[in-house]
Amino acid sequence: MKLSDIKDLLHAEVVVGQDKLDMSVKAGAASDLMSDLLTGQNNNAVLLTGLCNVQVIRTSVIAGIAAVVLVRGKQPTQEIITQAREHGLPLLSTPFTMFTSCGRLFSKKLRGVDEKISTPVHSR
Amino acid sequence: MTDLIKIFSIKARDFVKAGEGSIQIQSLLKSIGFDTDLIRRISICAYEAEMNAVMHGGDGELRLMVDPKEIVLEINDNGPGIEDIDLALQDGYSTATPEHREMGFGAGMGLPNINKNADSLEIHSDNGQGAHLKIRFEVQNS
């Protein structure tokens, strides 16, 4: 899914990365726990998070996250914006909640980073 | 003979700068051109260890040593040390404070995650003598 599609689906404001809206993201991840992002394969995923601090940017860079979307209309501080710019990491802000944001992207076929996990028996 | 040594300082409780050394390591390894997955594993280990030192340890340093066959990370801090290393290596065991959790850390996954991503991990921590980690990665030449 293109970052421009994510921007439109989430009615998001682009804080950093207006020039990168053409980029494609492979999957979606949603977490307020930075430790979780470091334990999975999150390469080229878009991260939805309610956490709004500079460690979101650093963790994303280390984990290979392609773009970050802050949920519930959170506005990043200047320090967060500077870090995102420095690392070329697109940063968006959506008025939707985490749940709604995930649902809007999932309904348009963006899948989680755990797509390869087989479907549990009980849901077949 | 180690081809390259880089040292980054770590400052306890400095959450503004925490992780900068690891990001520089990631960028340096990319510029040398190592395998992407190897860089991912090394960067994650460096970052987890650096955050641990900032959150739980004391001032210290993060050292990167690169040679053609092996990449080694050493993280030394002068904090209170790790009381029970076996326990600290268990998934989910945490001594984190509410401040750490507000930053998105402190889930008790740092050391176990380093252990999973490294080819070998040595931890030394005598009571009150800080924590000393040596993390090794083999370089597979294609």
What is the rounded CA–CA span in Å between residue B31 and residue B27? 6
In degrees, to the nearest 5, what angle opens at C-alpha A16 toward C-alphas A15 and A21?
A: 105
Check which CATH number belongs to the domain holding A95 and give it: 3.40.1390.20
Maximum distance among all Cα pairs of chain A, rounded to whole angstroms: 48
pLDDT score for B1 = 62
- Let me know how long chain B is: 142
- Put simply, whether A35 touches B (Cβ < 8 Å) is yes
Rounded to whole angstroms, how far apart are CA atoms B25 and B22? 5
Does the pLDDT of residue B3 top 80, yes or no?
A: yes
Cα separation, B127 vs B80, in Å, equals: 7
pLDDT at residue A29, rounded to an integer: 96
Taking 50 as the pLDDT cut, the residues of chain A under it are 124
Q: B109 and A38: CB-CB below 8 Å?
A: yes
**Edge-to-edge order in the sheet of strand B70-77:** B4-10, B60-66, B70-77, B131-138, B120-124
Number of structural domains (chain A) is: 1
A108 HSE (CA, 13 A, CB side): 16
pLDDT of residue A118: 57
Cβ of B110 within 8 Å of Cβ of A35? The answer is yes
Question: Quick one: CATH architecture of B4-138?
Answer: 2-Layer Sandwich (3.30)
Range of the domain at A35: 3-110
User: What's the pLDDT band for B2 if we cut at 50, 70, 90?
Assistant: confident
> Which has more pLDDT, B9 or B140?
B9
Lowest mean pLDDT among A114-118, B58-62, B126-130: A114-118
Distance CA A81, CA A84 (A): 5
Question: What pLDDT does residue A117 have?
Answer: 55
> DSSP string of A54-98?
HHHHHHHHHHT-SEEEESTT----HHHHHHHHHTT--EEE-SS-H
Residue A118 included in any domain: no
Please report residues of A whose CB lies closer than 8 A to that of B48. 38
What confidence score (pLDDT) does residue A33 get?
94
Q: Name the residue ranges covered by the structural domains of chain B.
A: 4-138
Sign of CA dihedral A98, A101, A106, A112: negative
Find out whether A25 and A1 touch, Cβ atoms under 8 Å. Answer: yes
Please report the pLDDT score of residue B33 as a whole number: 95
Identify the pLDDT of residue A124.
46
Chain A contact set for B21 (CB, 8 A): none
Q: In angstroms, rounded to a whole number, what is the distance separating the alpha carbons of residues B138 and B120?
A: 9
- A91 has which bridge partners? A16, A68
A39 touches chain B (CB under 8 A): yes
